[in-house]
């Protein structure tokens, strides 16, 4: 029996998603071996009775997750399993050309503006913290405190090891090979890497000053995505916070479209964001998963994020964790619980929020006078338009300043940008704004160099 027949017999769902998933199963089972030459797009489309476009889309999905290797005229071959590919976008952001006197590529908070953990840990250390494997994964008092401050009433709630851990676990529950997923454009590179490794097809929706563009979201919903990933405030990298008016328009689209995707909200900045949090869960509580991280506001080494909302998703995440870590450190949970109502911590977070806003404003006012386009008004990151990405990055690097390239954030080709973590620039160091403006306005020469 030829391979076209083998594949055809193993496929029940003749959509692009179904074809990709079935071929993945055939590879996993060994019916398709590494090195096997796959049928051409036309051969398989005839065998399945579908259009060549459908098979091509399946091939693209399989290539993204490394299951097949297209070699031009030689044909398309099953690849030797090597595991998921590396997080290429994330590596491009974090692996710069070297050490900088001032590294603004990180997207991380200023350590000097984080609350002092010492007094809190001293108080917590006096508590009875010994617990059992059989205790609840979330401290009951923390569960109660989180629910009281949640933007909507969550059906279920749990605590995991940071925002990316939350997004990873949620994505593995709701996304399958070949699924379409809506993301903001630009988007956070690790999220794009994660979805790529799951074999999802990402659909980018532009972000303007109020959030996702409604017309583009409506068109994306017509492609029947299983999920919409978004950052409701202090969007990384653009600094946009979704307005209440825009949230209502988008929620109407999500509520009445028959695609019914799960909405995954990543509130990564938490209380250091200046904008008010608006959640889709207020309108779609059974279809919204809200992630609240405390890394930027309370301390990266707490490694804690709360996940609450759609009960079936959260329950699946919690059940799967029982087969792995089981729970996040209850000692760290006790520290977080203490911090959430500690007056000194509350004052420190409020002061950090005001300082970050002042630092951002000081930089953007100078960029504005130089005619440099940028987006957003919130958070620690600035999304800055440049004439040439490479020239801008090299010019800043020569002055000891690191910035993140814009390309890894982009879902599709777009104008060149760089991301600058302006939250790390004290208001006393505003000479940097002039350097940013100079770098933004550089033109590439014929060789692509300054």
Assess whether 61 and 174 both reside in one domain. no
Assess whether 234 and 330 both reside in one domain. yes
Assess whether 49 and 33 both reside in one domain. yes
Flag whether 123 is in a domain: no
pLDDT band for position 132 (50/70/90)? low
Task: Indicate yes or no: pTM above 0.75.
Answer: yes
Flag whether 125 is in a domain: no
**pLDDT over 70 at 96, yes or no:** no
Q: What is the CATH number of the domain that holds 11?
A: 1.10.10.10
Give the tens place of pLDDT for each residue, 343-390. 999 999 999 999 999 999 999 999 999 999 999 999 999 999 999 999
Helices in 274-374 by DSSP H: which ranges? 295-298, 311-321, 330-340, 343-369
Range of the domain at 65: 3-78
Point out the domain boundary residue: 318, 339, 360. 339
Q: Pairing between strand 156-160 and 211-212?
A: unpaired
Flag whether 333 is in a domain: yes
| Residues 275, 257: Cα–Cα separation, whole Å | 28
Assess whether 333 and 350 both reside in one domain. no
Point out the domain boundary residue: 339, 356, 391. 339
Q: Phi and psi for 251 in degrees, rounded to 5?
A: -65, -35
Task: Give mean pLDDT, residues 281-296.
Answer: 96
Flag whether 117 is in a domain: no
Q: Which residue has the tokens 């629910």?
A: 147
Give the tens place of pLDDT for each residue, 46-64. 889 999 999 998 888 788 7
Q: What is the CATH number of the domain that holds 371?
A: 3.90.1150.10
Which of 332, 334, 353 shows the shortest CA–CA distance to 270?
353
Flag whether 120 is in a domain: no
**pLDDT over 60 at 82, yes or no:** no
Assess whether 107 and 146 both reside in one domain. no
Q: Pairing between strand 382-385 and 417-420?
A: antiparallel
Assess whether 195 and 315 both reside in one domain. yes
Flag whether 67 is in a domain: yes
**pLDDT over 60 at 85, yes or no:** no
Assess whether 186 and 215 both reside in one domain. yes
Assess whether 362 and 293 both reside in one domain. no
Q: What is the CATH number of the domain that holds 187?
A: 3.40.640.10
Point out the domain boundary residue: 274, 309, 339. 339
Q: Tell me which of 200 and 92 has the higher pLDDT.
A: 200
Flag whether 449 is in a domain: no
Assess whether 328 and 355 both reside in one domain. no
Give the tens place of pLDDT for each residue, 140-196. 999 999 999 999 999 999 999 999 999 999 999 999 876 889 999 999 999 999 998
Assess whether 356 and 328 both reside in one domain. no
Flag whether 292 is in a domain: yes
Assess whether 206 and 108 both reside in one domain. no
Which of 273, 296, 211, 239 shows the shortest CA–CA distance to 419?
239
Assess whether 333 and 352 both reside in one domain. no
Structural domains counted in the chain: 3
Contact present, 83 and 48 (Cβ < 8 Å): no
Give the tens place of pLDDT for each residue, 243-266. 999 999 999 999 999 999 999 999
């Amino acid at each position: 029996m030829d391979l076209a027949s083998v594949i055809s017999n193993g496929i029940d769902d003749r959509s692009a998603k179904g074809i990709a998933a079935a071929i993945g199963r055939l590879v996993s089972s060994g019916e398709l071996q590494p090195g096997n030459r796959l049928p051409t797009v036309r051969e398989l489309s005839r065998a399945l009775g579908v259009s060549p476009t459908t098979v091509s889309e399946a091939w693209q999905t399989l290539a993204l997750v490394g299951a097949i290797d297209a070699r031009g005229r030689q044909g398309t071959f099953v690849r030797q399993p090597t595991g998921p590919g590396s997080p290429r976008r994330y590596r491009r952001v974090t692996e710069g050309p070297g050490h900088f006197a001032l590294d603004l590529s990180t997207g991380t908070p200023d350590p000097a503006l984080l609350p002092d953990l010492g007094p809190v840990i001293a108080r917590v250390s006096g508590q009875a913290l010994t617990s059992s494997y059989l205790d609840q994964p979330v401290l009951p008092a923390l569960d109660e405190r989180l629910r009281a401050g949640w933007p909507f009433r969550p059906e279920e709630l749990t605590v995991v090891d940071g925002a990316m851990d939350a997004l990873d676990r949620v994505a593995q529950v709701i996304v399958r090979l070949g699924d379409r997923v809506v993301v903001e454009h630009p988007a956070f590179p690790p999220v794009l890497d994660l979805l790529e490794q799951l074999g999802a097809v990402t659909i980018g929706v532009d972000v303007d000053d109020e959030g996702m563009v409604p017309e583009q979201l409506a068109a994306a919903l017509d492609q029947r995505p299983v999920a919409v990933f978004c950052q409701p405030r202090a969007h990384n990298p653009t600094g946009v916070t979704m307005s209440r008016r825009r949230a209502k328009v988008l929620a109407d689209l999500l509520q009445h479209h028959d695609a019914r995707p799960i909405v995954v909200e990543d509130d990564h900045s938490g209380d250091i964001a200046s904008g008010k949090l608006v959640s889709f869960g207020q309108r779609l509580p059974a279809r919204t998963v809200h992630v609240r991280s405390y890394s930027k506001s309370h301390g990266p080494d707490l490694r804690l994020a709360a996940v609450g909302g759609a009960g079936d998703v959260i329950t699946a995440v919690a059940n799967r964790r029982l087969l792995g870590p089981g729970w996040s450190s209850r000692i760290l949970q006790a520290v977080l619980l203490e911090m959430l109502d500690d007056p000194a911590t509350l004052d420190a977070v409020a002061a950090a929020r005001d300082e970050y806003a002042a630092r951002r404003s000081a930089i953007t006012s100078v960029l504005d006078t130089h005619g440099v386009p940028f987006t957003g008004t919130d958070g620690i990151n600035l999304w800055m338009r440049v004439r040439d990405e490479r020239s801008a990055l090299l010019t800043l690097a020569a002055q000891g300043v690191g910035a993140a390239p814009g390309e890894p954030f982009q879902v599709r080709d777009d104008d060149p940008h760089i991301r600058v973590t302006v939250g790390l620039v004290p208001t006393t160091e505003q000479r940097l704004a002039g350097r940013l403006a100079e770098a933004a306005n550089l033109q590439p020469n014929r060789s692509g160099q300054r």
